[in-house]
């Protein structure tokens, strides 16, 4: 499969951003360590920074083929934030729809995601009490008492013990 060029990916990001910003807001997930990112100092060095953007906010938000420029309020003060498309690896709409560009995700997030998926897959295969395909699970031995004839399963619940 042919990889998409950065121009095509940026066009996808721009299109999705345009669509989701028509709603109440969009969450933009980015790697704030990437070149060209401008955010307040306390938000730098974060591979999974999420910023909530909306045209309804007082600060202006614009975008072009290179990225998003927005003014967001942090601690009572507005800060200019510059978010190049190359730093944006995902978005979430106000309705919870998500879009991810794995090629732009930081490696540590890809590794964490892969581990999560493998763990989830393993749980589905080896659920408590299940066995690998082609094997028969061990059967518990039937309990017998004086009140339970041989070959008949004991009733569940309380039983009289002599």
Whether residue 68 is contained in a domain is answered as: yes
Contacts 24+ apart (CB under 8 A), 35-43: 35/84, 35/86, 36/67, 36/82, 36/84, 36/86, 36/87, 37/82, 37/83, 37/84, 37/87, 38/80, 38/81, 38/82, 39/79, 39/81, 39/83, 40/74, 40/79, 40/81, 43/74
| CATH number for the domain that contains residue 114 | 2.30.30.220
Q: Divide the 162 residues of the chain into consecutive groups of 10 and give the mean pLDDT of each group.
A: 59 94 96 97 96 94 96 94 97 95 91 84 69 50 48 54 59
Domain count, the chain: 1
For position 92, what pLDDT does the model report?
Answer: 96
Whether residue 90 is contained in a domain is answered as: yes
Whether residue 145 is contained in a domain is answered as: no
Whether residue 146 is contained in a domain is answered as: no
For position 151, what pLDDT does the model report?
Answer: 55
For position 126, what pLDDT does the model report?
Answer: 74
Whether residue 142 is contained in a domain is answered as: no
* Residues spanned by the domain of 64: 6-125
For position 91, what pLDDT does the model report?
Answer: 97
For position 9, what pLDDT does the model report?
Answer: 78
Whether residue 160 is contained in a domain is answered as: no
Q: What is the pTM of this model?
A: 0.68
């Amino acid at each position: 499969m042919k990889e998409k060029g950065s121009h095509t990916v940026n066009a996808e990001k721009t299109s999705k951003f345009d669509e989701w910003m028509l709603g109440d807001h969009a969450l933009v997930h980015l790697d704030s360590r990437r070149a060209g990112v401008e955010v307040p100092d306390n938000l730098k060095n974060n591979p999974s920074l999420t910023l909530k953007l909306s045209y309804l906010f007082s600060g202006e938000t614009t975008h072009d083929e290179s990225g998003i420029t927005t003014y967001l309020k942090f601690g009572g003060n507005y800060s200019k934030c510059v978010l190049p498309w190359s730093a944006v690896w995902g978005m979430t709409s106000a309705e919870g729809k998500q879009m991810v560009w794995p090629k732009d995700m930081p490696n540590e997030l890809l590794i964490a995601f892969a581990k999560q998926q493998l763990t989830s897959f393993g749980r589905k295969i080896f659920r408590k009490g299940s066995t690998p395909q082609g094997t028969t699970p061990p059967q518990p031995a039937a309990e017998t008492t004086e009140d339970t004839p041989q070959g008949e399963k004991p009733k569940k619940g309380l039983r009289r013990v002599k």
